[in-house]
Structure 1
Amino acid sequence: MAKIQVQYYYLGLRKKSDPDDIFYLTDNYNFKEIKFPFGKRYWAADPFIVENGDDVYIFYEYFDEFRGKGSIACSKVVDNVASKPVIIIDEAFHLSFPMIFENKNCLYMIPESEASNSVILYKCISFPYKWEKDKVILNNVKACDSVILQNDLGQYLLITSLMDEKSTNERKNFCYVHNVMYELDEELNIIPHSKRELSEGDYGIRNAGKVIKTKNNLIRIAQNCTEGMYGKGLVFWALDSYNPYKEHELANIDYEKASNHITHIDHNGIIQGIHTYNCSAHYEIIDFMIFNELPVYYKLYYFLGSRISKIITKIERFIRS
């Protein structure tokens, strides 16, 4: 039977030896694939990890091939096995990259919502599964993969990757971005006229994980998109100064190198991309991409599923209105 190649993302977990242990500091590391209780209709990417006592929760893009879009889901992980996904945020538009941070003893999330032309803040009402929309932080922007960091005064800063809306053979809009920084007030609103350009536009700077703090550095993780290749690898940058904003490269991890350190189930393919990394006190988590070979009838399966899903969505919107 004829085969087609379908892109799927998977998640890998690694236990850290100490809080400052980051995998690129050693050649002896291994991420082990997290097993999920779902089939080929779904896949998981853009993982963020939160430890709550002895419990480990992951928040991630939960992509539905039927609907052709992602929502934000949460699972508890025990011995590298994830619980059934609980969708915690679902919108009419695609969501991914659920960046989580804490403010005034509350958890907040800024998922990637570029398809809505806005940057949206959500607040956790009951951890881990109940979240609600708090406010729209930015409107009329093509922004992806926003992250939050704090300056020396404890003030929150928002770094977001603005997408180039032009696409050519040499430059794909989802790879070519430029980062901008905004200052936030105590209520997490954008301070007027605080926008600062951090770059005129380049590959390899699209945010790829939460900013992490070690004993020696404040580290921003970026995705390497050189040559227009989405998921070519990860770049770790150390912050030198806030104003002017400067950073220097600590490590550049190519997906081919990382693939030798990721243990995964046989998915009829080899790893051909990584694009998100996050960590907690005791764990690191990464995603990786494989083109699975599936029967050609999956094309029809996904086509019919997406059409049925769109019809159901329109009916639901009509009922709500």
Structure 2
Amino acid sequence: MYQLKKVAKIFFRRREEWAIGIYCGDSPFNLKPHPQAVNPVLTAKDVTDTKANFVADPFMIYEGGSWYMFFEVLDRHDSRGKIALATSQNGVTWTYCQIVLEEPFHLSYPYIFKWNNEYYLIPETYQTKSVRLYKATDFPTQWVCAGILLDERSYVDATIFRHEQRWWIFTCAQAGNDTLYLHSSEDLLGLWTEHPQSPLIKGDASIARPAGRVLSMNGKLFRYTQDCQKIYGKQVNAFEITELTTTHYQEREVPENPILQPSNSWNNIGMHTIDPHKIAENQWIACVDGKKKSFVFKAFE
């Protein structure tokens, strides 16, 4: 008499995992993996206060001899993005600290900046159909919502900058990643108005969605954009803003494009956020993110 053996059924599913790395170069358009960094410098495994699926969307600021990096942690328990903090003394080796901002809705793309000796964050809050400004009450771990800058649309990746005594914000429509809006205001918490040429880009997912901080360099402005044409967040390009007034906008592609593209095992299928900072003459350091494809295996009897 034969005894039937239980056979395990093996299932697998594909998963895209984002992680964070450090790049450097002689310009913000010529960046390579930092030779002293072990990329990725931050992954989901570094998150200690929750179970994370991935980390992404890094932005950093240098204050008091230390680097502070803010980034998205996608919580495995509720599939909701939260904003976390890591610190570094040299910009190369990073220590995860904690989640510093969470809401009942998804948060990502934590654009950090300083104005009038105050620290501000503008994380993506598209589920609220608004762009919200957060202010530090105790930098870098305590934040409160200071106001709503834009509403009525599901904006993603709001990117703020100051130019000609005005504040400006690029945003993208969440649906399709193919529409770029521009608003401006005289005051950070004042009345924001949409530019008469907005949407600046419509129906082009290869150049519409912001990918990082707008740079002001040598009297010129540059914006980064992620290519979402074929897959979400495939690579990063840059454009020089050649004209920006309350009535006119023009830009042109920089010749160095693409600025970031898939390369190694940790970022072999995409890159979509960059935050470069000048640390010396012809020396730049940047936090970036990248995604890889992995497979999760499960066996059932």
Range into which the TM-score falls when normalised by the shorter chain: 0.7 to 0.9
Seen in structure 2, the aligned counterparts of structure 1 residues 117 and 27 have a Cα distance that, compared at 3 Å, is closer
Distance 1:187 1:240, change over 3 A: closer
Between Structure 1 and Structure 2, the one with more helix by share is: 1
* Alpha-carbon shift at residue 89 of structure 1 (Å): 1.4
2:192 corresponding residue in structure 1: 191
State the match for 1:133 in structure 2: 145
Using the TM superposition, name which of 139-148 and 288-297 deviates more.
288-297
Partner of 2:180: 179
Q: How does 1:205-244 map to 2 (within 5 A)?
A: 205-215=208-218, 217-227=220-230, 229-243=231-245, 244=248
Flag the 1:293–1:192 CA change in 2: closer, same or farther, 3 A: closer
The aligned runs of 1:115-126 (5 Å cut-off) are 115-126=127-138
Q: Aligned partners of 1:191, 1:254: CA distance in 2, in Å?
A: 31
Q: Distance in 2 between matches of 1:11 and 1:259?
A: 13
CA change 1:105–1:144 in 2 (3 A) is same
Match for residue 319 of structure 1?
none
CA gap 1:81/1:2 in 2 versus in 1, 3 angstroms: farther
Aligned match of 1:25:
30
Superposed, which structure 2 residues align to 1:79-118 within 5 Å? 80-118=92-130
Post-superposition CA distance 1:279-303 (Å, at most 9, x none): 12332111000122222369xxxxx
Cα displacement string for residues 127-153 of structure 1 (whole angstroms, at most 9, x for unaligned residues): 2111111011122211111111222x2
2:23 is paired with a residue of what secondary structure?
A: strand
What pairs up with 1:252-291 in 2 under 5 angstroms?
Answer: 252-253=257-258, 258-260=261-263, 264=266, 271-282=268-279, 283-291=285-293
Select 1:148's aligned residue among 149, 160, 170: 160
Q: Within the alignment, does 1:63 sit opposite 2:74 as a pair?
A: yes
Question: Which range is displaced more, 214-223 or 204-213?
Answer: 214-223
- Secondary structure, in 3 states, of the residue corresponding to 1:87? strand
Shift of 1:263: 7.3
User: CA separation in 2, counterparts of 1:263 and 1:293?
Assistant: 14
Q: What is the CA–CA distance in structure 1 between the aligned matches of 2:31 and 2:81, rounded to whole Å?
A: 34
Question: What is the CA-CA distance between 1:221 and the residue it aligns to?
Answer: 0.3
- Are 2:31 and 2:259, in contact at CA under 8 Å, matched by a contact in 1? no
Instruction: Give the TM-score taking structure 2 as reference length.
Output: 0.81
Structure 2 Cα separation of the partners of residues 199 and 35 of structure 1: 33
Query: Out of 201, 204, 209, which is 2:203 matched to?
Result: 201
Match 1:34 to one of 32, 41, 52: 41
Go from structure 1 to structure 2 and tell me whether the alpha carbon gap of 1:53 and 1:287 turns closer, same or farther (over 3 Å shift).
same
Where do 5+ consecutive residues of structure 2 fail to align? 1-9, 280-284
Counterpart code for 1:161: C
Partner-residue secondary structure (3-state), 2:96: coil
Larger Rg: 2
Match of 1:14 in 2: 23
2:3 alignment partner in structure 1? none
Provide the rounded CA distance (Å) in 2 between the counterparts of 1:7 and 1:186. Answer: 40
CA distance in 1, matches of 2:13, 2:20: 23
Match of 1:246 in 2: 250
Structure with the largest fraction of strand: 2
- Residue 44 (1) aligns with residue 55 (2): yes
SS in 2 for 1:33: coil
Task: Give CA-to-partner distance per residue, 1:75-98, whole Å, 9 cap, x none.
Answer: 113564432342121011111101
Partner residue of 1:169?
none
Amino acid at match of 1:134: A
The answer to whether the 8 Å contact 2:129/2:152 transfers is: yes
Superposition TM-score, scaled by structure 1 size: 0.77
In structure 2, how many angstroms separate the alpha carbons of the residues matched to 1:35 and 1:27? 17
Report the count of equivalent residues: 274
Q: CA RMSD in A?
A: 2.6
Q: Is the 8 A contact 1:51 1:280 kept in 2?
A: no
Q: Percent identity?
A: 23
Change (3 A) 1:181 1:259: closer
User: Residue 5 of structure 1 corresponds to which residue in structure 2?
Assistant: 14
Alignment of 1:73 onto 2:73: no
